[in-house]
Amino acid sequence: MGEVEARFGQPVASLIKHYYYEKGYTLDQLARLFGVGRATVSVWMLKLGLPTRDWKLPDPAKINYDTYHNK
């Protein structure tokens, strides 16, 4: 965490709040930005008490299954 904070000149918590919550970055995008693994970002967020966004599967009624079948 310290290396990322030194490189960006800000606390990791502030960086995550800016990029993840305000700009809508994904955990994968944050990991690439910080030069760490996705799991590392998840652990940092857990330690800092920063919740991840909820995700859900797409509504089956809205899926166009024809795109998944060869014609």
Residue ranges of the domains in the chain?
2-52
What are 13-65's pLDDT values in tens digits? 999 999 999 999 999 999 999 999 999 999 999 999 999 987 777 677 777 76
Give the separation between CA 62 and CA 71, rounded to whole angstroms: 20
pLDDT tier at 68, thresholds 50, 70, 90 = low
Q: How far apart are the first and last CA of the chain?
A: 51
Do 41 and 30 meet the contact criterion of CB atoms below 8 Å apart?
Answer: yes
Do 38 and 27 meet the contact criterion of CB atoms below 8 Å apart?
Answer: yes
Give the DSSP letter of residue 65: G
At residue 61, the pLDDT reads 72
At residue 69, the pLDDT reads 65
